[in-house]
Amino acid sequence: MTNCELRSPVGGPPVTRTGARSPKRVRLASFVVPTPTNNILSFMQVSDASATSLSPSNDAPWDDLLEWLVEGHGMKVPEHICRKASAGAGFGLYAAKPCPPSTSLFTIPAKALMNLRTLAPHYPDASAISATCLIALHLLLNRPQGDSASLDPLFGPYISVLPVDFSSHPLAWLVRCGREPPGCAPCEEKLLQALPPSYTKSLSSLYDRFLVDWKNISKYISSHPEALRNAHAGSPSIAAFQNSKDPLIVDFVWAWLNVNTRCIYRQLKASRSHPDNLTLCPILDFANHTSDFSSSISPVSSLTDIWQAPSKSPAGDDFTFISSSKFSYPEGAELFLNYGAHSNRTLFVEYGFINRATLDEILEGSFSGEVDVEDILQPMFTSIGDAGREARMILDEEGYWGDWTLHSCPPPAYPSYRVIVALRLLCIFTAPAPREQAIKAWRETLLGLRDRVSEDNETAWRQKLAICCRAVMERAEIRCASPGGNEGTGEGAGWVPWMWQNIAQVWQEEYYVAKAVEISVMNNEMF
Ligand SMILES: C[S@@+](CC[C@H](N)C(=O)[O-])C[C@H]1O[C@@H](n2cnc3c(N)ncnc32)[C@H](O)[C@@H]1O
């Protein structure tokens, strides 16, 4: 097997089409040299002296994608990369040749990027919906049916290479379990119930975002039914868009998650922070995440980045990517992308996976473990009645209510500054001493005018922090002993045992990060 030969993905998600090639392929005769031994793509770009061969990879949808990019959009043959299965992560991008630091990996022509600029000309009044909605709608209207390729004349070969389903993603469980009658497997319900409260809360926010987008698309379709002429995947009716109980919403999960898990930032609007600055980028979107930024693939700065102004050309600029500037990669090495400095909670909820770590890595602080303790601290406020409500009002006014986290890295493990601020105030409200002076002193700590409220307050909040750590540990201990699943029974698809391992690690992370912070408190570490 060569380094780029296709294997079926094993373990985790996503599931990607590996079947037959598109029946609609049109080959340009002068480009194609069919091999006698197989019917898989093999062609020389004879019209271009600098071109190299695009050799068959036994991965038909991928070959179709490359053919579309090279023949249809004039992309230079990407010699350094290929996709193949990555254990526990679906497919990944791999080095097809040795890659010294800063190797130019590939350039995606602007017209092959799926975003606001390339889709808007095909939709009426496209500015009425967000880029996320527009891309998701286009995917929905062109979802491949069964084993067939997407029939979309614009992006068909790209859509055909996207994951066929997102059954291992927690949003998919939530949407299916919320339908009547529940459309999810019993193991999915159990997985949802086994999550830490902060994961459940973040997942619920993701679900809200998903529903808002669905509602906006429904509104858009009812005002612009002619947008449905872009449909090449059956013909969804206008009524299907108006009914959140219609099965179409399950297809929309597929479309929306493709956008949410695969889009990359791309400045297309005048404002750098505009939420529509995103694009689906073929090839790049097969790069899996690394938490190590220095080993990440990165985009080459374009004029857009340098001038911080969007490209004036209608489709935008081409998009070039290079390998890490620090490391060399041998042939066969996986090439990763850094998705951002995300906690495991964010990775799990948004992308459906977590960074794996050993217990030693969490305890030593070499792994960036994080625990959200909002659901433990909030009751500490509510349990003191009016005083707690007043304290909450003050924290709200100052912008410090909620989003309270503990961290293992860099060592020594520590509470976030927001936790310290909240606990200091809580201890003012639970102390017998008059509050007015203490609250003034607390405000001064926020302004950097003093470093503590008082010695007593310092001792008190550290004790409360230790109590909070204990509460996290006790809850996690119960969950680690009995995660609540059918781990050993083999129930569910291949990804289910993998997901139970993720959830087991999530609880271990809760336990050991809290333990590491408790140790820091006992060691009198200064935070
Ligand atoms: C941009 S796609 C990357 C390509 C993807 N693996 C595929 O087969 O299409 C992002 C998705 O890949 C998976 N993924 C990415 N990085 C991962 C990692 N480090 N571990 C496990 N899964 C990962 C997750 O399912 C995530 O939602």
Q: Please tell me the least confidently modeled range out of 85-94, 235-244, 350-359, 410-419.
A: 235-244
Asked if residue 478 has pLDDT above 80, the reply is yes
Q: Please tell me the least confidently modeled range out of 229-238, 281-290, 453-462, 488-497.
A: 488-497
Q: Please tell me the least confidently modeled range out of 127-136, 179-188, 255-264, 303-312.
A: 303-312
pLDDT band at 375 (very low <50, low <70, confident <90, very high): very high
What does the DSSP assignment read for 329-377?
A: B-TT-EEBB---S--HHHIIIIIS------HHHHHHT-S--EEE-HHHH
The CA 90 to ligand 1 mean position distance, Å, reads 6
**Atom number of ligand 1 nearest to Cα 88:** 21
Report the 10 Å Cβ neighbour count for 39.
Answer: 11
* Mean pLDDT, the chain, whole residue set: 88
Ligand 1: residue whose CA is nearest its atom 21: 89
**Cβ-contact 521, 465 below 8 angstroms:** yes
The CA 91 to ligand 1 mean position distance, Å, reads 7
Asked if residue 20 has pLDDT above 60, the reply is no
Q: Percent of the chain beyond pLDDT 70?
A: 87
Q: Please tell me the least confidently modeled range out of 35-49, 76-90, 323-337, 379-393.
A: 35-49
Q: Please tell me the least confidently modeled range out of 52-61, 97-106, 507-516.
A: 52-61
Of 64 and 48, the one with more pLDDT: 64
Q: What is the ipTM of this complex?
A: 1.00
Asked if residue 448 has pLDDT above 50, the reply is yes
pTM of the entire predicted model:
0.89
Ligand 1: residue whose CA is nearest its atom 19: 289
- Say which residues have a Cβ less than 8 Å from residue 250's Cβ, sequence separation at least 6: 175, 176, 179, 183
What does the DSSP assignment read for 260-322?
A: HHH-EE---SSSTT-TT-EEE-TTGGGPPB-S-GGGB-EEPP-HHHHHTS--SSTT---EEEE
Of 6 and 455, the one with more pLDDT: 455
Residue in 169, 212, 208 with CA at minimum distance from that of residue 192: 169
Q: How many helices (H) and strands (E) does the chain have?
A: 19, 14
Does ligand 1 come within 6 angstroms of the Cβ of 262? yes
**Atom number of ligand 1 nearest to Cα 289:** 16
Backbone angles phi, psi at 204, to 5 degrees: -65, -35
Asked if residue 178 has pLDDT above 80, the reply is yes
- 454 secondary structure, DSSP code: -
Does ligand 1 come within 6 angstroms of the Cβ of 499? no
Does ligand 1 come within 6 angstroms of the Cβ of 343? no
**Atom number of ligand 1 nearest to Cα 290:** 19
Domains and CATH numbers, the chain: 359-522 (3.90.1420)
Mean pLDDT for the stretch of residues 183-208: 94
- 106 secondary structure, DSSP code: E
Cα(483)–Cα(476) distance, integer angstroms: 9
Does ligand 1 come within 6 angstroms of the Cβ of 118? no
**Cβ-contact 477, 514 below 8 angstroms:** no
Cα(117)–Cα(175) distance, integer angstroms: 30
Does ligand 1 come within 6 angstroms of the Cβ of 414? no
Does ligand 1 come within 6 angstroms of the Cβ of 285? yes
Ligand 1: residue whose CA is nearest its atom 7: 91
Q: Percent of the chain beyond pLDDT 90?
A: 74
Mean pLDDT for the stretch of residues 237-249: 86
Does ligand 1 come within 6 angstroms of the Cβ of 61? no
- 37 secondary structure, DSSP code: S
The CA 330 to ligand 1 mean position distance, Å, reads 21
Distance of CA 198 to the CA centre of its chain: 17
Give the model's pLDDT for residue 27.
30
Asked if residue 492 has pLDDT above 80, the reply is no
Does ligand 1 come within 6 angstroms of the Cβ of 351? yes
Of 221 and 7, the one with more pLDDT: 221
The CA 152 to ligand 1 mean position distance, Å, reads 24
Ligand 1: residue whose CA is nearest its atom 4: 286
pLDDT band at 5 (very low <50, low <70, confident <90, very high): very low
Q: Please tell me the least confidently modeled range out of 46-50, 136-140, 211-215, 468-472.
A: 46-50
Cα(520)–Cα(76) distance, integer angstroms: 54
Using one digit for the tens of pLDDT, what is the confidence trace for 418-429? 999 999 999 999
**Atom number of ligand 1 nearest to Cα 168:** 25
Asked if residue 89 has pLDDT above 60, the reply is yes
Asked if residue 183 has pLDDT above 70, the reply is yes
The CA 419 to ligand 1 mean position distance, Å, reads 32
**Cβ-contact 279, 113 below 8 angstroms:** yes
- Report which residue type is found at 244: S
**Atom number of ligand 1 nearest to Cα 91:** 8
- Say which residues have a Cβ less than 8 Å from residue 384's Cβ, sequence separation at least 6: 391, 426, 429, 430
Does ligand 1 come within 6 angstroms of the Cβ of 286? yes
Does ligand 1 come within 6 angstroms of the Cβ of 282? no
Asked if residue 237 has pLDDT above 90, the reply is no
Cα(510)–Cα(227) distance, integer angstroms: 47
Does ligand 1 come within 6 angstroms of the Cβ of 370? no
